[in-house]
Amino acid sequence: MKTTCLRCYVSGRVQGVGFRYATAEKASGLGVTGYVRNLPDRRVEVLACGDERAVAALCEWLWQGPSLARVSEVRRESAPYQDFGDFRIE
């Protein structure tokens, strides 16, 4: 199993629509650790760590998000690997 961490910045209508809660549920189901948080510029930041395939699946899912979200962009960048132990909402 190859592990990785990706930091994703999600833009669009992603705050006030349950995006963080849905992301945490999806990440936990995939066995991904890290966090999700709202940013002051109205984007959502996701730091996802774990199995490379699971992290990739979560980052692809971010384009969909919960039903009320309208995602216009998902920007990804590599991040140093960290083992958070779980996935949390910050």
* pLDDT mean across residues, the chain: 97
Q: For residue 85, what are the β-bridge partners?
A: none
Q: Which amino acids are annotated catalytic?
A: 20, 38
Using left for φ > 0, alpha for ψ between -120 and 50, and beta otherwise, residue 34 falls in left
Task: Kindly state the average pLDDT of the residues 34-44.
Answer: 98
Give percent of the chain above pLDDT 70: 100
The yes-or-no verdict on residue 1 having pLDDT over 80 is: no
Task: Give domain status of residue 10, yes or no.
Answer: no
pTM above 0.85?
A: yes
Task: Give domain status of residue 64, yes or no.
Answer: yes
Overall number of domains in the chain: 1
Can you give the pLDDT at residue 83?
Answer: 84
Return the CATH number at 26.
Answer: 3.30.70.100
Task: Give domain status of residue 89, yes or no.
Answer: no
Task: Give domain status of residue 86, yes or no.
Answer: no
- Range(s) of the domain holding residue 52: 16-80
DSSP letters, 29-55, are HHT-EEEEEE-TTS-EEEEEEEEHHHH
Task: Kindly state the average pLDDT of the residues 33-50.
Answer: 98
